[in-house]
Structure 1
Amino acid sequence: MQLSGEITLAGSRAASSYGAQVAADLAGELAAAGRTVIAGGGFGIEAAAVRGALAAHTPTVAVLGCGIDRAYPAAHENLLARIAETGLLVSAVAPGTTPGRHRALARHRLLAALGDATVVVEAAARSGALHVAAAADGLGLPVLAVPGPTSSVLSVGPHRLIRHGATLVTSAADVLEALAPAVETTAIAGA
């Protein structure tokens, strides 16, 4: 599988129906546009993003917080198997390694590093998705965020990112427009 124009989608495990729909739509449209969608294998926004990319019949990448030989969360065993059929399961830890909270930061850094940019769909004030965004920013990669309802605690993270310079996006077209120069520069640098 050749990766080109990879986009990491991150967000809350306790996603709202709005956030899950936005993540699935973004992922599906980005995948249909030839971009590789990268997300974790967890609940919420990650699962919605992966399902959106799979629905577009394109490979996707799932970054796990455990060894690639483990289905975590266990409820996603079938979803992870579908990803492995056409895409990639990757991890910062060795096979056989069990999941744990202390492995989250390595997973977040890997999620950020694999994408040409990170899009945060929903995130509460202390969400791991904000760690992914911070890691992307630390690597000099673009951070984009989807606004949400002002009354939702899951909008706090994206709104904070936007206030601090993240690009506001509401569609896959916005993401592609924001990244056009970055993807072209990456392609030229790799030539």
Structure 2
Amino acid sequence: MSVPEQKNHQPTYIDDRFPGPDPYAPLTDLPTFALTSDDLTDGSRLSPAQLGGNDISPQLSWSGAPEDTVTYAVTCYDPDAPTGSGYWHWAVFNIPAEVTSLPAGAGDDELVGLPEGAVALRGDSGRRGYYGAKPPAGHGPHRYLYAVHAVPGTLDIPDRSTPAILGFNLNFRASARALLWGWAEN
């Protein structure tokens, strides 16, 4: 198996304040596209709405994905969790290509805010809905990486799979990736 060539990977979320690694460094380096949020400024502290206990997924909008995009996947991941494997807060895939935004709260536990056809996996909290940032008290600041992946097809992943399985599939199937991040500390 050949290893894909890595391009010049210059993430904005690498900072000495955070103990975890760059989770995207060993993955296929993909082209990017625009990702914005009304609720999150790239690199800023998360608002109380996105914290654990409130658990309101942020509004996300994206544009400029490859023309052959058929579906999108949206994830939220904490690479700084003291687990050895990070912590998945949200994982949704097979969002139809005509959907280019999710409103705040789309990741509620009833999943009513997700578009038809989208599949939500159980995160590390055991919930299919968005689980807000809640780093352990005294552990320091944690990053929360919101990623939108463009996929030139649908993903045939059972809904009982883990977000890590989704991430594995996205590494080999996604054609582009957009990132937006924030941080929290208790």
Higher relative contact order (CA 8 A, sep 6+): 2
Give the shorter-chain TM-score range. under 0.3
Give 1 or 2: higher strand fraction.
2
For normalisation by structure 1, the TM-score amounts to 0.27
